[in-house]
């Protein structure tokens, strides 16, 4: 596999998103047109790079590129969006949903670092419950974000597209295998890669992989794939989940979270994991 | 055929490869005609029924960059919604062609404020008087937009309802004659490599040694388009037997006239009838139709400024707090002349307000009064 990103690029130390780009584009290969929207670390993915576009227009830009190639009879080029959670979960959601509904032959890959890191850690709809960001500060009255993380993979599964999967920079083999499988499919493919951000999440930059692995091992960020909106498979199944405190404690964005709040998060996480286990057992997504 | 069918027919004749639209009154039937053409295999291109105008603009922008001939169409609110990506389409110098079926921003009825409010996005703007002109202008627009001396997107404006939903006789050229005149579009970037998003650049405005360079180049490209628009209009006339003045402006019965009124879009048709009646009464007034609003034909108006003692601009728009868009441009064009004619401002037909031939006869008489040196009011809402 060829390296298709500029390493180290202009990313911060320990940048999970830069790693997500490196792994994803290695697996995608050179016959790829990339669309980016404003996000960090854009410079890490300078090659391969397609046309510019506007922040809110990710899904439409991919559509236009794919349809033009189709009109010209070119069908072996992969049209790939590499967006942040802002571009996928928020400002670009409408256009990506429409592209999914039309089942455009495109990839939407999201490096999810759970806030608008490019502009300095403002909350997004991907920011988890209670997390401190620059727009959900820990004040004397309100402490951190008061609502949970939007469940984007399940929203897109409900579009009944060929492929929706989660991945983590902590599990590169899983990430690459999902892209390689997706490459064999025609139609809309989505991969959401949890990409820890040491600057925004406030942990030691040397610990990015540890934090990423801990999200998966605690069940906070389960790894799974959904084909055709129905067939469900957990791709990482620990015998037992680790307690969520192992994920929360090293990150200063959660420093203010109380034990009672943590207990609530543990309860929700366990409940969700059990539901996913049941879906995995059936091979069928239960909603 | 209706104006919207004329537009859709031109798109079919131009063998457009990627089209995208979202229905909005009074553009809706273009989308429907194109859907029918696509469903019947009359259009071979990809037709994307998108979920909103912003996406339609981004879709054709990306498709144009990937080398496809493209078409997008909208009206009023949809035009405003796609404003943001209109900047990147023109900054990237992509030859997208767009129909704007006018719908004002204060009612469902037509005025030119939808397209004129996009002036700063730097598209070429051509306005149409009737349905034949709509069909012909679309064909010319592809040739203008794709010309390597221009390489800019073109917007074609025509009044909603008055033209979009009104049937008129339209002569449709044969597919072969259009194929012969309009060769397939071949993508070739004209941006310097460092600026070209297709080759890894960040587009104009992304930096470089002179951060203003993107604006300078874009502005010059519009000015340089003026002679090319004229040339393509002439050429169209030779091949298809119809042309529209010199491509930028058109004179009607101006011989021997002391004064002129200037009109755009379907109001030019109303103005023609008023001129006929005024001249039948021996009143020496003619008409100038302003077809190309952006870039502006400054040189044409300098010539008109020498010939006529008074010019009355009829604007179907108002740039709030400034005045009529055409009026300001005409006065600006004439400022450096030693002897300037009187220039009067009329606003008419905004928000679809009905305009009758008699209204323009009165306008004509007022302009003639000004030409004689009588004192008249500078600005009038008809």
**Burial of B22: CB neighbours in 10 Å, binned 0-12, 13-18, 19+:** buried
Bridge partners, residue B299, by sequence: none
> CA angle, A25 as apex, A24 and A28 as ends, to 5°?
90
How many Cβ atoms are within 10 Å of B199's Cβ, its own excluded? 12
Report whether pLDDT(B203) > 70. no
* Element spanning A155, H or E: helix A152-157
Which residue out of B18, B50, B66 would a mutagenesis test of the A interface target, given it has the greatest number of A Cβ atoms within 10 Å? B66
**Burial of B256: CB neighbours in 10 Å, binned 0-12, 13-18, 19+:** exposed
Q: Return the residue of A nearest to B47 by Cα.
A: A67
Whether A105 contacts A62, CB under 8 Å:
no
B67 touches chain A (CB under 8 A): yes
Q: Smallest CA–CA separation between B64 and chain A, in Å?
A: 8
What gap in Å lies between CA B13 and CA A118, rounded to an integer? 46
Q: For residue range B291-319, list pLDDT tens digits in order.
A: 999 999 999 999 999 999 999 999 999 99
A51 to B18: CB separation less than 8 angstroms, yes or no: no
Q: How far is CA A137 from CA A122, A251, A253, A254, B375, in A?
A: 10, 15, 9, 11, 66
What gap in Å lies between CA A163 and CA A176, rounded to an integer? 14
Find the helix packing angle between B213-240 and B131-146, rounded to 10°: 130
A50 to B67: CB separation less than 8 angstroms, yes or no: no
B85 to A53: CB separation less than 8 angstroms, yes or no: yes
B88 touches chain A (CB under 8 A): yes
Confidence band of B206 (pLDDT split at 50, 70, 90): very low
A253 dihedral zone (left: phi>0; alpha: psi -120 to 50; beta): alpha
Give 3-state DSSP helix, strand, coil % of chain A, rounded to 5. 40, 15, 45
All domains of chain B, ordered by start, with CATH? 3-240 (3.40.50.970), 249-381 (3.40.50.920)
Report whether pLDDT(B158) > 50. yes
Q: Smallest CA–CA separation between B12 and chain A, in Å?
A: 15
To which residue do tokens 């008249």 refer? Answer: B376
pLDDT in tens, chain A (287 residues): 888 777 667 789 999 999 999 999 999 998 888 888 887 766 555 555 555 578 999 999 999 999 999 999 998 999 999 999 999 999 999 999 999 999 999 999 999 999 999 999 999 999 999 999 999 999 999 999 999 999 999 999 999 999 999 999 999 999 999 999 999 999 999 999 999 999 999 999 999 999 999 999 999 999 999 999 999 999 999 999 999 999 999 999 999 999 999 999 999 999 999 999 999 999 999 87
How many Cβ atoms are within 10 Å of B16's Cβ, its own excluded? 27
Residue B348 has a pLDDT of: 98
Question: Distance between alpha carbon B207 and the CA centroid of its chain, in Å?
Answer: 31
Strand segments, DSSP code E, in A2-132 are 32-36, 78-84, 107-112
What gap in Å lies between CA A150 and CA B251, rounded to an integer? 61
The beta-carbon neighbor of B58 closest among A57, A72, A97 is: A57
Q: Which residues of B touch A95 (CB under 8 A)?
A: 51-52, 54-55, 58
Return all residues near B16 (Cβ < 8 A) that are at least 6 apart. B43, B45, B69, B70, B71
Q: Which residues of A touch B44 (CB under 8 A)?
A: 71
Give the pairing of strands B18-21 and B46-49. Answer: parallel
Query: Residue B304: which of B283, B325, B281, B329 has the closest Cα?
Result: B329
B55 to A67: CB separation less than 8 angstroms, yes or no: no
What average pLDDT does the segment B42-69 reach? 95
Q: Smallest CA–CA separation between A28 and chain B, in Å?
A: 18
What average pLDDT does the segment B181-201 reach? 70
**A26, A32, A37, A42: CA torsion to nearest 10:** 40
Q: What is the largest CA-CA distance in chain B?
A: 65
- What the block records as the tokens of A87 is 């571009």
* Element spanning A238, H or E: none
What gap in Å lies between CA A70 and CA A51, rounded to an integer? 17
Return all residues near A242 (Cβ < 8 A) that are at least 6 apart. A214, A217, A218
The beta-carbon neighbor of A61 closest among B58, B67, B200 is: B58
Start-to-end C-alpha separation, chain A: 37
B193 touches chain A (CB under 8 A): no
- What the block records as the tokens of B239 is 């091949």
Q: Return the residue of B nearest to A67 by Cα.
A: B46
What gap in Å lies between CA A104 and CA A187, rounded to an integer? 5
Whether A238 contacts A51, CB under 8 Å:
no
Give the pairing of strands A224-227 and A163-168. Answer: antiparallel
What gap in Å lies between CA B167 and CA A110, rounded to an integer? 49
A64 to B88: CB separation less than 8 angstroms, yes or no: no
A51 to B198: CB separation less than 8 angstroms, yes or no: yes
ipTM over the 0.85 cut-off: yes
A98 touches chain B (CB under 8 A): yes
What gap in Å lies between CA B255 and CA B308, rounded to an integer? 10
What length is written for chain B?
A: 382
Return all residues near B317 (Cβ < 8 A) that are at least 6 apart. B111, B112, B113, B116, B324, B325, B326, B347, B350
Q: Which residues of B touch A56 (CB under 8 A)?
A: 54, 84
To which residue do tokens 């009044």 refer? Answer: B159
To which residue do tokens 């078409």 refer? Answer: B71
State the average pLDDT for chain B. 94
A57 touches chain B (CB under 8 A): yes
Q: Among the listed ranges A49-63, B92-106, B119-133, which one has the minimum average pLDDT value?
A: A49-63
What average pLDDT does the segment B4-18 reach? 98
Report whether pLDDT(B200) > 60. no
Confidence band of B208 (pLDDT split at 50, 70, 90): low
Whether A189 contacts A100, CB under 8 Å:
no
Q: Smallest CA–CA separation between A48 and chain B, in Å?
A: 8
B183 touches chain A (CB under 8 A): no
Q: Return the residue of B nearest to A70 by Cα.
A: B46
Q: Smallest CA–CA separation between A32 and chain B, in Å?
A: 13
C-alpha torsion sign, points B122, B128, B133, B134? positive
All domains of chain A, ordered by start, with CATH? 16-282 (3.40.50.970)
- Window 141-170 of A, Cβ < 8 Å to B: none
Q: Smallest CA–CA separation between B274 and chain A, in Å?
A: 46
B227 touches chain A (CB under 8 A): no
A51 to B55: CB separation less than 8 angstroms, yes or no: no
B62 to A63: CB separation less than 8 angstroms, yes or no: yes
- What the block records as the tokens of A212 is 């990423």
B90 touches chain A (CB under 8 A): no
User: Alpha helices, DSSP H only, in B282-355?
Assistant: 298-307, 325-334
Query: Residue B305: which of B313, B314, B295 has the closest Cα?
Result: B313
What gap in Å lies between CA B103 and CA B160, rounded to an integer? 6
What gap in Å lies between CA B143 and CA B138, rounded to an integer? 9
What average pLDDT does the segment B328-335 reach? 97
Q: Smallest CA–CA separation between B380 and chain A, in Å?
A: 41
Query: Residue B207: which of B224, B193, B195, B190 has the closest Cα?
Result: B195
Report whether pLDDT(B189) > 50. yes
The beta-carbon neighbor of A63 closest among B44, B59, B88 is: B59
Give the predicted TM-score (pTM) of the model: 0.95
A49 dihedral zone (left: phi>0; alpha: psi -120 to 50; beta): beta
Residue A10 has a pLDDT of: 75
Q: Which residues of B touch A35 (CB under 8 A)?
A: 62
Q: Among the listed ranges A11-25, B116-130, B145-159, B318-332, which one has the minimum average pLDDT value?
A: A11-25
Residue B199 has a pLDDT of: 53
Query: Residue B206: which of B89, B92, B129 has the closest Cα?
Result: B92
Query: Residue B223: which of B121, B154, B144, B294 has the closest Cα?
Result: B294
Q: Which residues of A touch B88 (CB under 8 A)?
A: 52-54
The pair phi, psi for residue B184, each rounded to 5°, is -60, 150
B340 touches chain A (CB under 8 A): no
B63 touches chain A (CB under 8 A): yes
Task: For chain B, state the CA radius of gyration.
Answer: 20
What gap in Å lies between CA B59 and CA B17, rounded to an integer? 12
């Amino acid at each position: 596999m060829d390296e298709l990103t500029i390493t180290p690029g202009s990313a911060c130390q320990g940048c999970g998103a830069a790693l997500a780009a490196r792994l994803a584009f290695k697996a995608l290969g050179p016959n790829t047109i990339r669309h980016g929207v404003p996000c960090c670390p854009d410079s890490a993915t300078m090659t391969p790079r397609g046309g510019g576009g506007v922040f809110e227009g990710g899904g439409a830009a991919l559509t236009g590129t794919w349809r033009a190639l189709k009109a010209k009879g070119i069908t072996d080029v992969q049209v790939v969006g590499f967006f942040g959670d802002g571009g996928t979960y928020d400002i670009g959601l409408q256009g990506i949903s429409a592209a999914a509904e039309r089942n455009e032959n495109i990839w939407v890959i999201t490096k999810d670092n759970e806030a608008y890191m490019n502009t300095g850690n403002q909350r997004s709809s991907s920011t988890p419950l209670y997390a401190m960001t620059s727009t959900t500060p820990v004040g004397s009255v309100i402490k951190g974000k008061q609502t949970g993380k939007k469940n984007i993979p399940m929203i897109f599964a409900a579009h009944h597209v060929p492929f929706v999967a989660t991945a983590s920079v902590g599990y590169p083999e899983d990430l690459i295998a999902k892209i390689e499988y997706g490459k064999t499919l025609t139609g809309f493919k989505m991969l959401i890669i949890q990409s820890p951000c040491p600057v925004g999440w406030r942990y030691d930059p040397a610990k990015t992989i540890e934090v990423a692995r801990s999200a998966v091992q605690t069940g906070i960020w389960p790894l799974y794939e959904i084909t055709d909106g129905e067939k469900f498979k957990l791709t990482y199944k620990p015998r037992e989940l680790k307690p969520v405190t192992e994920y929360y404690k090293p990150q200063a964005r959660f420093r203010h979270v109380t034990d009672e709040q943590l207990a609530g998060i543990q309860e929700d996480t366990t409940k969700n994991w059990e539901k996913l286990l049941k879906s995995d057992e059936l091979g069928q997504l239960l909603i | 055929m209706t104006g919207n069918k004329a537009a859709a027919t031109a798109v079919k004749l131009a063998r457009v490869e990627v089209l995208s639209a979202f229905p909005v009154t009074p553009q809706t039937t273009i989308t429907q005609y194109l859907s029918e053409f696509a469903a019947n295999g009359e259009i071979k291109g990809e037709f994307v029924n998108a979920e909103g105008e912003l996406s339609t603009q981004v879709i054709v922008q990306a498709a144009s960059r990937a080398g496809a001939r493209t078409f997008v169409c909208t009206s009023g609110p949809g035009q405003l919604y796609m404003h943001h990506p209109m900047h990147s389409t023109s900054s990237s110098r992509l030859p997208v062609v767009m129909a704007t079926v006018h719908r004002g921003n204060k009612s469902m009825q037509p005025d030119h404020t939808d397209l004129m409010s996009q002036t700063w996005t730097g598209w070429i703007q051509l306005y149409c008087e009737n349905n034949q002109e709509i069909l012909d202008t679309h064909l010319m627009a592809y040739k203008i937009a794709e010309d390597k001396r221009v390489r800019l997107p073109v917007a074609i404006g025509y009044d909603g309802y008055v033209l979009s939903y009104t049937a008129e006789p339209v002569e449709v050229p044969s597919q072969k004659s259009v194929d012969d005149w309009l060769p397939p579009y071949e993508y070739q970037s004209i941006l310097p490599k460092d600026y070209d998003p297709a080759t890894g650049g960040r587009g104009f405005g992304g930096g470089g040694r002179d951060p203003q360079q993107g604006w300078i180049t874009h502005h010059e490209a519009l000015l340089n388009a003026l002679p090319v628009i004229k040339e393509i209009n002439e050429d169209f006339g030779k091949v298809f037997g119809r042309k529209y003045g010199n491509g930028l402006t058109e004179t009607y019965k101006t011989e021997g006239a002391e004064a002129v009124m200037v009109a755009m879009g379907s109001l030019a048709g109303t103005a023609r009838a008023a001129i006929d009646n005024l001249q039948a009464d021996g009143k020496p007034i003619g008409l100038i139709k302003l077809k190309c609003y952006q870039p502006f034909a400054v040189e044409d108006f300098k010539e008109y400024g020498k010939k006529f003692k008074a010019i009355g601009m009829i604007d179907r728009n108002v740039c709030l707090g400034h005045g009529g868009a055409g009026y300001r441009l005409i006065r600006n064009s004439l400022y450096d002349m030693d002897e300037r004619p009187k220039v009067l401002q009329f606003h008419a037909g905004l928000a679809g307000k009905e305009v009758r031939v008699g209204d323009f006869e009165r306008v004509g008489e007022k302009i003639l009064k000004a030409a004689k040196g009588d004192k008249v009011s500078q600005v009038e809402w008809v």
